[in-house]
Amino acid sequence: MQKIIVDGGLPLYGEISVQTAKNAALPIIAACILTDEPVVIENCPHLNDINAMIDIVRHLGCFAQFDGDDLTVCCKDISLNVINSDLTGKLRSSIFILGSILSRCRRAYISHPGGCEIGLRPIDLHIAGLKSLSVKIEDDCGVICCDGLEMHSGVINLDFASVGATENLMMAGALLDGETVIVNAAREPEIVDLAAFINAMGGKITGAGESIIRIVGVKKLHGCRYRPMPDRICAGTYLAAVAATGGNVTVKDVVPEHILGITERLKKTGARISVRGSSVRITADGRPRPIHKLETNVYPAFPTDMQPQFCAMLTRASGSSVIIENLFENRFGYTNELLRMGAAITVKDRIAVVNGVPTLHGAAVRACDLRGGAALVIAALAAEGRSVVYCPEHIDRGYEHIETDFALLGAKIRRVTE
């Protein structure tokens, strides 16, 4: 069993480079199924979620192997189009692989991915979108059976700008004759990255990053070498940590416009932010100022994946903040652990009221999900005294080496295996 031990209360100083984006690399690995030629994904992060996606493509009969930080995927020998519950249970976002398997095999069977700690995670928008392309879909005792023998291009109106559904449908349309149009598409940078990757393979996708995406199907896609975008949520996590502990840190290898929704709100806490090229520098001291209302929403608004980290930072604010979580119905679970550190937080449904306290004290806490776990590390870094964060495997799903990164910035933090 592992745990992360933190002796908090120290400001953070130095420079840190950001890993490649987990939520860009995952759909890109799924999109490798669209070609029978080798693809090299450069600087691919070594994460539990990435390993779960690699297990899925290998299960389908594909080749996937890291060579250092480069991941080579070749789906020439894809031999299966069935993804069982063991695999979807390990990675619920794997539902977006449906589109690429249907494009390649025209039939696919996938166990319903089910919910997770932060919400039910329904897939109705994925199903409705595929049905708009005349995919015949039946739910047979939790196995989603897709018959795409007569699937064709078409217009899809998403009721909600779902990231995963947009990615799924881009991959479903990539090899279809004619033009597929996604209306009310998600606009996240990861969507733009997936479109750029498919276009690097010879695809014809335009409008990614806007609400209407057009996919002109092509007969065949070829292999390529591609470096996905940097992880905007990891960048935001480091910046929020400095706002919580104080200090002066430069986060390198980011795309500043990807994190505007984060840095603009950090400025409201009194942190100073400066941008130079692909580096963002934050300086903070004393207690952060509160953010009277912080609402999560789809890009380019404030991202839900940064909500727990900001909440942890605001526990020490010089006033009260109200956090409204508009994306997921159960994304405040981590606050119970923050209460053990002396935080003063009241949660009702999708609203959390955070009454800032001068100091947090160290405690033994348990990570229950990815971003909630990152929030506990931020709180531990800001707290006086020793904290122990149990179940760090949740954090490892999205951060390659969170304790090493913060140790590089002067934190007294280490991982212990018992």
307 CB contacts (<8 Å, ≥6 apart)?
Answer: 294, 296, 323, 325, 331, 371
Q: Is 163 in the site for ligand EPZ (CB under 6 A)?
A: yes
Q: Structure tokens of 334?
A: 């981590």
Distance CA 407, CA 413 (A): 6
Interface pick for ligand EPZ out of 19, 23, 35, 309 (rule CB under 6 A): 23
Q: Is 302 in the site for ligand EPZ (CB under 6 A)?
A: no
81 CB contacts (<8 Å, ≥6 apart)?
Answer: 60, 101, 105, 107, 108, 109
Pick 302 or 390: Cβ nearer ligand EPZ = 302
Interface pick for ligand EPZ out of 184, 304, 307, 387 (rule CB under 6 A): 304
In the complex, the smallest distance separating the C-beta of residue 13 from ligand EPZ, rounded to whole angstroms, is 27
Interface pick for ligand EPZ out of 112, 126, 258, 265 (rule CB under 6 A): 126
Distance CA 294, CA 283 (A): 21
> Which of 141, 133, 212, 116 minimizes the C-alpha distance to 174?
133
Interface pick for ligand EPZ out of 30, 64, 125, 360 (rule CB under 6 A): 125
For ligand EPZ, the nearest residue by Cβ is: 164
Of 51-59, 121-129, 147-155, 265-273, the segment contacting ligand EPZ by CB under 6 A is: 121-129
347 to 406, contacts with ligand EPZ by CB under 6 A?
Answer: 370-371, 398
For 158-226, list the strands marked E by DSSP. Answer: 179-183, 204-206, 212-216, 225-226
Distance CA 14, CA 130 (A): 47
Size of the residue set binding ligand EPZ (CB under 6 A) = 23
Pick 164 or 230: Cβ nearer ligand EPZ = 164
65 to 94, contacts with ligand EPZ by CB under 6 A?
Answer: 93
Cα–Cα separations (whole angstroms), residue 139 to 168, 353, 405: 18, 40, 44
In the complex, the smallest distance separating the C-beta of residue 126 from ligand EPZ, rounded to whole angstroms, is 5
Is 141 a known active-site residue? no
Note whether 163 and 190 are within 8 A (CB). Answer: yes
CA angle 289-292-295, nearest 5°? 120
Pick 126 or 289: Cβ nearer ligand EPZ = 126
Cis peptide preceding 303, ω within 30 of 0: no
Interface pick for ligand EPZ out of 221, 234, 238, 305 (rule CB under 6 A): 305
Pick 3 or 371: Cβ nearer ligand EPZ = 371
In the complex, the smallest distance separating the C-beta of residue 79 from ligand EPZ, rounded to whole angstroms, is 26
3-state secondary structure of 37: coil
Distance CA 151, CA 145 (A): 14
- Percentages of the chain per state (helix, strand, coil), in multiples of 5: 35, 30, 35
Pick 234 or 314: Cβ nearer ligand EPZ = 234
Q: Is 164 in the site for ligand EPZ (CB under 6 A)?
A: yes
In the complex, the smallest distance separating the C-beta of residue 338 from ligand EPZ, rounded to whole angstroms, is 18
Q: Is 327 in the site for ligand EPZ (CB under 6 A)?
A: yes
187 to 246, contacts with ligand EPZ by CB under 6 A?
Answer: none
Catalytic residue among 62, 75, 116, 141: 116
Cα–Cα separations (whole angstroms), residue 411 to 34, 195, 248, 362: 44, 38, 13, 14
Q: What is the dihedral of CA 120, 27, 70, 176, to 10 degrees?
A: 160
In the complex, the smallest distance separating the C-beta of residue 85 from ligand EPZ, rounded to whole angstroms, is 18
Contact residues: ligand EPZ, CB under 6 A: 23, 26, 93, 119, 121-126, 160, 162-165, 186, 304-305, 327-328, 370-371, 398
Mind telling me the catalytic residues? Answer: 116
